Structure 1
Amino acid sequence: MKSRKWIVPALSLSLLFPAASGFAAETTADQNPELETKVIQFTIGSDRYMVNGLSETVDTEATVYNNVAYIPLRDLADSMDGATVSYDAATGTTWLDTGLARYEFWDNSSRYRVDNMEMRADAPILSRDGHVLIPASWVADTLDWTLVYENGLVTLYKRY
């Protein structure tokens, strides 16, 4: 007789567990209001670019070379939280430090190094009068940004 007393409360509690797990599933990172989406847009040939809708002046214009869209690395880094760029004109070496990794590029070469491991990009990194241009596709592939290129507008966005 005593075991019957526990059947109803045990069944009631067992019915609550699926509801609790469903509630936990609704609070995913995708629905977290603290996540931020960063949108960076470069227009090919323009002296301006946009970061989350705010207009900025570029160091050097985004361009297309050999059917590849290139964007200025320094402006990109300035738009990314905590990233820095340094350049040594004597050696033609550029460093991008994202806080998570350190990338080393050489002028007009598709080779680069990340944390002392040599890699190869699909297109070379370009240098124009001390300004480094990087393929937008490299940013998307390597730094995990989403890239949309349409009618001369390069849009990169990332949610974090």
Structure 2
Amino acid sequence: MKMRKLLAPVLGLSLMLPAAGAFAAEGTTADYNPELQTRAIQFTMGSKMYMVNGMSKSMAIMPVEYMGTTYVPLRYLAANANMKVSYDAMTDTTWLDTGLARYEFWTKGTNAKVYKVDNMRKGLNQPIISRNGHTLVPVRWFADQFDWNMSYSNGMITLTKVY
């Protein structure tokens, strides 16, 4: 009989203990949630080296400034943002696949200021450009389009995002 009287309170307390621990914990969600990670990509004007989360990498072409706009190579942005890039030289078309949408770019003529997202035409203030066979995009456009935080200081472009 005594065992039955103790069973209900013991079970009740055992169910409440994990919740009490959660309320007592201090810190942010990112501290306790391993799925949330920060990705940081840094480009330096005039350099073919760039950094991803503190690790140095190299690229075939460096960021450039063109008509007052800073451009970075799309392939290196995409590879480090979990996106894929493909290119067709016959049609001068570059595709960016984000996993959620497919972007289509051209670098010649008036099409350079137009792109498509899942076949819907959109316009750009600055053109998409090509240098030595590489597609470069305005870094501000990329940051705004894909919700990255961007800063620019002394020739260093830093893009960060929490996943």
TM-score (norm 2): 0.78
In structure 1, C-alpha distance between the alignment counterparts of 2:27 and 2:122, rounded to whole Å: 38
Measured after TM superposition, the shift of residue 152 of structure 1 is 0.9
For the residue of structure 1 that corresponds to 2:115, the secondary structure is: strand
What is aligned with 1:6? none
| Equivalent residues, number | 141
In structure 2, the residue matched to 1:154 is: 157
In the TM superposition, structure 1's runs of 4+ consecutive aligned residues that sit over 3 Å from their partners are 26-33
Quick one: which amino acid aligns to residue 55 of structure 1? S
What is the aligned partner in structure 1 of residue 75 from structure 2? 74
Distance 1:90 1:128 in 2: 17
The match for 1:44 is: 45
The Cα shift of 1:140 comes to 1.0
Structure 2 residue aligned with 1:99:
99
Specify whether residues 32 and 122 from structure 1 end up closer, same or farther in structure 2 by C-alpha distance, changes over 3 A only: farther
Question: Among residues 109, 114, 117, which one is paired with 2:117 in the alignment?
Answer: 114
Question: Residue 148 of structure 2 aligns with which residue?
Answer: 145
Seen in structure 2, the aligned counterparts of structure 1 residues 152 and 90 have a Cα distance that, compared at 3 Å, is same
Amino acid across the alignment from 1:67:
G
Q: What is the identity, as a one-letter code, of the residue corresponding to 1:85?
A: V
Two-structure CA RMSD over aligned residues (Å) = 2.3
Residue 129 of structure 1: how far off its partner (Å): 2.3
| In 2, Cα distance between equivalents of 1:120 and 1:31 | 40
**Quick one: structure 1 residues 88 and 141, their matched pair in 2 at CA, closer, same or farther if it must change by over 3 Å?**
same
1:55 positional shift: 0.6
For the 8 Å contact 1:59–1:72, the answer to whether it is kept is no
Does the aligned pair in 2 maintain the 1:59–1:74 contact within 8 Å? no
Question: Which letter maps to 2:100?
Answer: L
Give % identity.
Answer: 52
Matched, 1:131 2:123: no
In structure 1, list runs of 5 or more residues that go unmatched. Answer: 1-18
Measure, in 2, the Cα distance between the counterparts of 1:90 and 1:44: 30
| CA shift for structure 1 position 122 | 2.1
Partner of 1:87: 87
- How far, CA to CA, are the matches of 2:117 and 2:94 in structure 1? 12
Structure 2, gaps ≥5 residues long:
1-18
Give the structure with the larger strand fraction: 1
1:122 counterpart letter in structure 2: N
Aligned position for 1:4: none
- Say whether the 8 Å CA contact 1:59–1:75 is kept in structure 2: no
